[in-house]
A = this chain, B = another copy of it.
Amino acid sequence: MVMQTDPIDDILAGKQLAIARMISRAERNDAGFREQLAALYAFTGKAHIVGVTGSPGSGKSSLVRALAQAARSQTAKINHSKDTHQKIGIVAIDPSSPFSGGAIMGDRIRMNDIANDEGVFIRSMATRGALGGLARAALDAVDVLDAAGYDLIFIETVGVGQDEVDIARAAHSVIVVSAPGMGDDVQTIKAGILEIADIHVVSKCDRPDANKTINELKSMLLLAMPDHSKWQPPVMPTSAQSGDGIHALLGQIDAHRKWLNETGEMTNRQTQIAESRILKRAEEMLRSRFTLNRNGFAATLIEKVAKRQMDPYAAAIKFFDEGEV
């Protein structure tokens, strides 16, 4: 006989296996477990959530690893007790390969040294599902970690594509990472996300061309952000390799968290996150209801659009009207 324990209780008690299982259920969007995710939601809202985004090769993963290590050692110094360490969660969105059948880990491998620290929970989520729903699943994973008592949760994405930007946006503090000396092509894909940064990080700051990137960012900010009553995004040089700037960056995350709370901006941000969460769920429901009816009443609409007897807009209106959406 196997003792059955309640997964909700296990997660609230911080048991990592139960946490990992619930996140897998979120990824599969398993209908039977939505109620459990819903039950967990009531216990969320305690963690500080930090979105980390930037172009490929900007060193996001190394930065997050360094931040997690620094945050762990920092608390250790203050508390002199392992049990009262700040617990760190990391949810990393991985580009994935349909050929290897799994996420290409890349940077993730370098995280092994903190993977053995029980106070750090790391989860990679693959983009291979490709049916959308990734943002929703990633934010559900953050909920699970939040309910499980993780104090500081990093959510790491490549800052390209609407879904990826939406994930980063659904955080309390957003870090945008720029690396010095990257090609124009790579830099431009980053440009669209600069405006969502609460904190700018220039990674690999031990490189000689880092100052150029720092100055470029500062000039852009001067141009774009003249409102001094609002939060002024700082530009933080860091080096994950040497550790330079990592503690200062942790300090800035904390300063931003305090600013959010003191100005009441935290309430606005939570409203904005709630809005995005509902919409992401609704979009996923729309997609799955469409898929369910692909061979039902939607089949006629699809055929008519394919044959140019109806335009896509008219078909979408009919789908809303006729479907139980």
Partner of A158, one of B44, B98, B160: B160
Question: Is B161 a contact partner of A163 (Cβ separation < 8 A)?
Answer: yes
Tell whether A280 is near chain B: CB-to-CB under 8 Å: yes
A317 within 8 A of B: yes
Whole-angstrom distance from the CB of A217 to the nearest CB of chain B? 10
Chain A interface extent, by class: 35 or more
Binds B, one of A12-20, A99-107, A251-259: A99-107
Pairs of residues from A and B, 9 with the lowest C-beta to C-beta distance, nearest first: A161-B161, A281-B316, A97-B191, A274-B305, A57-B185, A277-B312, A41-B311, A274-B306, A38-B311
- Chain B residues with CB below 8 A from A96, complex form: 191-192
- With beta carbons under 8 angstroms apart, the residue of B56, B99, B275, B319 that contacts A195 is B99
Query: Is A184 engaged at the interface, CB distance under 8 Å to the other chain?
Result: yes
14 example contacts (A-B, Cβ-Cβ < 8 A) are as follows: A37-B313, A44-B308, A95-B160, A95-B191, A104-B191, A139-B312, A158-B160, A160-B160, A271-B302, A278-B290, A278-B301, A278-B312, A282-B320, A285-B320
Cα–Cα distance between A277 and B281 once the two chains are bound (Å) = 20
A1 interface residue per 8 A CB criterion: no
B302 touches A274 (CB 8 A): yes
A195/B98 contact (C-beta < 8 A), A188-B56, A312-B281 known: yes
In the complex, how many angstroms separate the beta carbon of A257 from the nearest chain B beta carbon? 17
Determine the chain B residues whose CB is within 8 A of the CB of A41 once the complex forms.
Answer: 308, 311-312
* Residues of chain B within 8 A of A273, CB atoms compared: 306
Contacts of A294 in B (CB 8 A): 275
Q: Which residues, 268 to 325 on A, are CB-close (under 8 Å) to B?
A: 270-271, 273-275, 277-283, 285-287, 290, 294, 298, 301-303, 305-306, 308, 311-317, 319-320, 325
A250 within 8 A of B: no
Interface of A is mostly: helix
From known contacts A37-B313, A281-B316, A315-B281, infer whether A306 and B270 are also in contact, taking CB-CB under 8 Å.
Answer: yes
Q: Is the CB of B313 within 8 A of A281?
A: yes
Counting chain B CB atoms within 10 Å of each CB, which of A41, A194, A274 scores highest? A274
Chain B nearest CB from A184 CB (Å) reads 6
Which one of A55, A104, A275, A286 has the highest number of Cβ atoms from chain B below 10 Å of its Cβ?
A275
Residue pair A160, B162 in contact (C-beta under 8 Å): no
